[in-house]
Structure 1
Amino acid sequence: MIHEVDEVLKGLIGGGALSGSGIDVSFDVPTRDWAARRNAPVVNAYLYDIREDVSLRQRGHTGLRDERDVVVRRRRPPRWFRLSYLVTAWTKTPQDEHRLLSAVLATLLPHELLSPQALPDALGRLGLSVPVAVSGSRSEARSLADIWSALGGELKPSLDVAVTVPFPAHPDYDAGPPVTEGATVRLRAADGGPPRSEDRSHRPRQVAAARATREQSAARTAREQAAARRRQQS
């Protein structure tokens, strides 16, 4: 899933205001050595943090139905993870870097929620929309100073882009066959003799509804046949 998010983010950043500019989008670690090797303007999206958004965690199971609308398998709800990217611009002058960051910001802001149709492969097949947050809260993430210190570089202006994506929770579970008959209770005398009352049965709603429909149909047919006999006798 992570590589698919990279693909989506690269398409978003490379489109919009940067479309046709020839500026590359890189996911390399922006270390001093990397910065020294580059020889053209580039936008870097460094994935620096991956953590679960526990506020979106769900319990239970989801039923998977076949062509008869019968539940055949059960699946656990997906787990949602927030992928945090440090987006920076790298050119020869700070003014050009600020222009690039402004273009990236203007491109990403309209895409706060990505529909399943805009997502590739396995991510899109989940049928869930994906939120994108730009420069949100860092309450649970590492500070910028810690990130740049770990990278061995100097602090640069950046955008914090967080993409929260669903990850399937495996495995699926086989579902039992649908219930078509209800439980039956038989009452016997204390001395083990014959039952003192008829069997008491509980039927599922669908079965009971089908039985009621058949009984109503049979009663209607009997009434029609009786009416036809009366007409013949008269």
Structure 2
Amino acid sequence: MIHEVDEVLKGLIGGGALAGSGIDVSFDVPTRDWAARRNAPVVNAYLYDIREDVSLRQRGHTGLRDSRDIVVRRRRPPRWFRLAYLVTSWTKTPQDEHRLLSAVLATLLPHELLPAQELPGALGDLGLSVPVTVSANQSEARSLADIWSALGGELKPSLDVTVTVPFPAYPDYDAGPPVTEGATVRVGAVDGGPPRSKERAHRPHQLAAARSAREQATARPTEQS
């Protein structure tokens, strides 16, 4: 899933205001050595933090149905993780870096929620929209000063971009066979004698037919005399 999020983020940053500019989007660790080797303007999106958003955790399971609309397997809800990226721009002058960051910000702000049909691979197959936040306050995230200190570099202007993505909770579980026979009711005598009534069976198709008849009767308009 993480590599698919990289692909989505690269497409977002490289599009919009930066479309056709030829500026590369890199996911390398922005160390001093990396900065010294670059020879062209670049936008760097460094993945510095991954943690679960426990407020989105759900219990229970969902049913997976076959072509006959019968539940054949059960799946637990996905777990949601926040992927935090440190987005920086690298050029020869601070003014150009600020222009690049402004272009990235203008590109990302309209994409606060990515629909499932725009997501690649297994991420899109889950059928869930993915939220994107830019420079929001994350109390659990590491401070930017600590990040730059760990990288051995000087503090630079940056955007804190967080993509919250679902990860499937494996494994799936087989579901039991569907009910086809229904229940059988026998009413016996109190003294152990013969049954007072005949055996009555409740079958699924009979219940469905009775329910459909009740719904149709309820839906009919009341005739006025």
TM-score range, shorter chain: 0.7 to 0.9
* Structure with larger Rg: 1
Q: C-alpha separation between the residues in 2 aligned to 1:67 and 1:178? A: 14
Q: TM-score, normalised by structure 2?
A: 0.88
Q: Take 1:6 and 1:156, find their aligned partners in 2: how far apart are those partners?
A: 22
Match of 2:216 in 1: none
Q: For residue 64 of structure 1, what is the amino acid of its counterpart?
A: L
Instruction: Give distance in 2, aligned partners of 1:54 and 1:152.
Output: 32
Deviation at 1:192, TM superposition (A): 4.3
Aligned length: 213
User: Counterparts of 1:39-58 in structure 2 under 5 Å?
Assistant: 39-58=39-58
Residue identity in the other structure for 2:22 = G
AA partner of residue 195 (structure 1) = P
Look up the match of 1:182.
182
Q: Which residue does the alignment assign to 1:208?
A: 207
- In the aligned structure 2, how far is the partner of 1:69 from the partner of 1:209? 15
Quote the residue 1:232 is aligned against: none
Gaps of 5+ in 2: 214-225
Shift of 1:209: 3.2
SS in 1 for 2:166: strand
Q: Give 3-state SS (helix, strand or coil) of 1:58's partner.
A: coil
User: What residue is the counterpart of 2:222 in the other structure?
Assistant: none
Question: Percent of pairs identical after alignment?
Answer: 86
> Separation in 2 of the partners of 1:212 and 1:122?
40
- Counting only pairs closer than 5 Å after superposition, residues 22-171 of structure 1 correspond to structure 2 as 22-171=22-171
**Between 195-204 and 160-169, the greater mean CA deviation after superposition:** 195-204
* Distance verdict in 2 for CA 1:170–1:9, change over 3 Å: same
Matches for 1:190-201 after TM superposition, within 5 Å = 192-199=192-199, 201=201
- Inter-partner Cα distance in structure 2 for 1:190 and 1:118: 67
Runs (4+) of structure 1 exceeding 2 A deviation are 180-204, 209-214
Which residue identity does 2:63 align to in structure 1? G
1:62 offset after TM fit, Å? Answer: 1.0
Give, in whole Å, the separation in 1 of the partners of 2:178 and 2:203.
Answer: 13
Aligned residue for 2:209, secondary structure, equals helix
Structure 2 CA distance for aligned equivalents of residues 67 and 203 of structure 1: 22
* 2:218 paired residue number: none
How far is the alpha carbon of 1:3 from its aligned partner? 0.2
Q: 1:203 Cα deviation (Å)?
A: 4.6
Tell me if the contact between 1:131 and 1:163 (Cα under 8 Å) persists in the aligned partners: yes
Query: How big is the alpha-carbon RMSD for the aligned residues of Structure 1 and Structure 2?
Result: 2.0
Q: Distance in 1 between matches of 2:15 and 2:208?
A: 57
Counterpart Cα distance in 2 of 1:173 and 1:137: 38
1:132 alignment partner, SS class: strand
Pairwise CA distance, 1:116: 1.3
Greater helix share, 1 or 2? 1
> In the aligned structure 2, how far is the partner of 1:113 from the partner of 1:106?
15
Contact 1:181 1:207 in 2 (8 A): no
1:48–1:85 Cα contact (<8 Å) kept: yes
* Cα separation, 2, equivalents of 1:179 and 1:57: 31
